[in-house]
Amino acid sequence: MYRTGRRLDGDVVRCLYRWERGAGTPVRAGFSVSAKLFNAVRRNRARRVMRSSFAAERRALLGVQEGAARALTVLFVYRGRRGVTAGPPDAAGIRGDIARMCTTLRATMEKERT
């Protein structure tokens, strides 16, 4: 993903995505949080928030992806805010970033489909 994927950057989340031919699932997603940022409890919280945020947006991506010959693979990486290492993950920032990224992905998918 890091070498061959495209990248979208948000305030606290980075999205890496690529199109794959012949994959079985129309949209696959992964979620990652660096061990350098938080302890295990906070990393898991950040992953849960990213998963739930993407689940809310996934339906819109699936609607565009139907009938396409390629599948979308997405990786969301929590980066945190610059210079802020203490405190819990920024749930509102995660939700906003993922919503914006999914909107951008949807527009990209519609553009490439035509």
pLDDT at 36: 80
pLDDT at 8: 93
Q: Does residue 85 form part of some domain?
A: yes
Kindly report the CATH number assigned to the domain that includes residue 23. Answer: 3.30.230.10
Query: How many structural domains does the chain have?
Result: 1
pLDDT, tens only, 44-87: 988 999 999 999 888 878 776 666 667 888 999 998 766 555 56
What is the average pLDDT across 24-32?
Answer: 84
Q: Does residue 16 form part of some domain?
A: yes
Task: Single out the residue of 64, 57, 98, 108 nearest to residue 78, CA to CA.
Answer: 98
pLDDT at 30: 93
pLDDT at residue 29 is higher than 70: yes
Query: With contact defined as beta carbons under 8 Å apart, do 21 and 65 qualify?
Result: no
Q: Does residue 34 form part of some domain?
A: yes
Domain hosting 50: range is 6-113
Alpha carbons 53 and 56: distance in angstroms, whole number = 5
CA angle 108, 111, 114 (to 5 degrees): 145
pLDDT at 48: 93
Q: Does residue 23 form part of some domain?
A: yes
Q: Does residue 96 form part of some domain?
A: yes
Record the tokens describing residue 65, joined without a space.
Answer: 């992806």
Alpha carbons 58 and 52: distance in angstroms, whole number = 10
CA torsion sign, 44 to 98 to 73 to 34?
negative
Q: Does residue 1 form part of some domain?
A: no
For 22-59, strand residue ranges (E) read 27-33
Task: Single out the residue of 85, 77, 66, 82 nearest to residue 26, CA to CA.
Answer: 66
